[in-house]
Amino acid sequence: MAELSQILKQATGVLAARGEGAQLFDEQGRRYLDFTAGIGVTSTGHCHPRVVEAAQRQVATLIHGQYTTVMHRPLLTLVERLGEVLPAGLDRVFFANSGSEAVEAALRLARQATGRPNVIVFHGGFHGRTVAAASMTTSGTRFRSGFAPLMAGVHVAPFPDPTHFGWPVEQATDFALAQLDYVLQTLSAPADTAAFVVEPVLGEGGYVPANERFFAGLRERADAHGILLVVDEVQTGFGRTGRFWGGEHFDARPDILVTAKGLASGFPLSGIAASSALMEKAWPGSQGGTYGANAVACAAAVATLDVIEDEQLVRNADERGAQLREALRTIADKYDVITDVRGLGLMIGVEFRDAAGKPDGATAVAVAQEAARRGLLLLTCGAWGQVVRFIPALVVSADEVDEAAGIWSDAVGAVL
């Protein structure tokens, strides 16, 4: 008899049997509003009929067309379709399975293309759990502890996080850019720095949006020193923030874009995109893998793109996000310990702090658990777990948003 290892920690005790849109059902048929979307993965909702149909058709045709051995049509179609949504100039793509792998693919490309060893990441960023990705992750020691030594060559500069510093966004941005210059002057010389790696909105780090001036500062320094700007859109991409890419809010202009999660509505698929000039600097055959660009995952990704376009899900994310933020702010106004409601589109964080102003993870978890008991699934994030995040599928309806806000209000009232 075997048991699941305690290495894996679960936020809820729900035994999910079936999913539909923004809802999950357990084995007893109890319905939950799923405002976790599999950590922002089920962009078109659970089991969207068009994604299901595309995947089923592909399963019956070709499951594994191993991509270092053969080409297959879903892969070629996906490359073509991504060309329609990728930021201008990013016209070469490479696929892997998970976000972490794609981050590592971006790292490999950046190091090979520049011949430089170091990367600079931004404090609070999450880039994954594999060793190189974990080395670039600074959103919590829980992702880094106990398996040192981590990869060398990673330096950390501040992210412009107004809530963490307790400063206006302008001051936090000035500080972040000044400290970045200090890092380039004292820790990682530009000639040793391959890339800046950054999220448009800190995800695991607490749902903190960056801003346009910060990205302009990154672009300016990248251009001045031949450093590449790697934008990690694993969580923010595919419509999540109410724009197709989170970086669009800030005119991010990446040299390398990293995508995963919402890309295939739940099938494991990730990728990186860059210009052909940059990709051509990577060593031929230097990247690959057994499962990358799995045919069923690629077919699901093509269907995901169709659904996002036909059902105008980016617009829905923007509108439902505004509706949800407003409802959550009205509730927050009644409680001193809810100190912030922030985010873009359907990537919204609600922060809890105690009377002394300290991040309060215990209360955030207690409220999330109470919400789960009442039928609303939520996750926490932030260095202290002090932020409850709302990330429903992009298909979420106005009624579901109202229902979720009602459950949240009751859960907060029951705990506080």
CB of 130 to ligand PLP, least distance (A): 7
Among 198, 257, 260, 404, binds ligand PLP (CB under 6 A): 260
Containing H/E element for 258?
Answer: strand 256-259
- Shortest CB 149 distance to ligand PLP, Å: 21
Q: Which of 155, 149, 158, 150 is nearest to 119 (CA)?
A: 155
Task: Decide: 358 and 370 in contact? Cβ < 8 Å.
Answer: no
Distance CA 22, CA 398 (A): 12
Rounded distance between C-alpha atoms, residue 414 and residue 153, angstroms:
47
Q: Quote the least distance from Cβ 242 to ligand PLP, whole Å.
A: 17
Binding flag, residue 380, ligand PLP (CB under 6 A): no
Among the listed residues 99, 140, 292, 382, the single contact to ligand PLP using CB under 6 A: 99
CA 111, distance to chain mean position in Å, is 23
Distance separating alpha carbons of residues 192 and 37, to the nearest angstrom: 39
Interaction between residue 234 and ligand PLP (CB under 6 A): yes
- Rounded to 5 degrees, φ, ψ at 366 are -60, -40
From 83-91, 95-103, 240-248, 290-298, span contacting ligand PLP (CB under 6 A): 95-103
Q: Does 271 bind ligand PLP (CB under 6 A)?
A: no
Examine residue 98 and tell whether it contacts ligand PLP (CB under 6 A): yes
What is the torsional sign of CA 200, 289, 141, 240?
Answer: positive
Shortest CB 96 distance to ligand PLP, Å: 9
Q: Which is nearer to ligand PLP, 304 or 363 (CB)?
A: 304
Interaction between residue 302 and ligand PLP (CB under 6 A): no
- Shortest Cβ distance from residue 199 to ligand PLP (Å)? 5
Can residue 235 be called a binding residue for ligand PLP (CB under 6 A)?
A: yes
CB 51 within 8 A of CB 304: yes
Question: Which helix (H) or strand (E) is 306 found in, with range?
Answer: helix 295-310
| 107 contributes a contact to ligand PLP by CB under 6 A | no
Q: How many residues bind ligand PLP (CB under 6 A)?
A: 15
- Would you give the distance in Å from CA 164 to the centre of its chain? 20
Sheet order of strands, 376-377 included: 16-20, 23-26, 31-34, 376-377
Q: Which of 235, 208, 199, 201 is nearest to 42 (CA)?
A: 235
The interface region with ligand PLP, picked from 108-116, 124-132, 245-253, 307-315 by CB under 6 A, is: 124-132
Region binding ligand PLP by CB under 6 A among candidate stretches 176-184, 230-238, 281-289, 406-414:
230-238
Q: Is the peptide bond between 149 and the residue preceding it cis, with omega within 30 degrees of 0?
A: yes
Q: Measured from the CB atom, is 128 or 160 closer to ligand PLP?
A: 128
Q: How far is the C-alpha of 22 from the C-alpha of 34, rounded, in Å? A: 5
Q: Which residues bind ligand PLP (CB under 6 A)?
A: 39, 98-100, 103, 126-128, 199, 203-204, 232, 234-235, 260
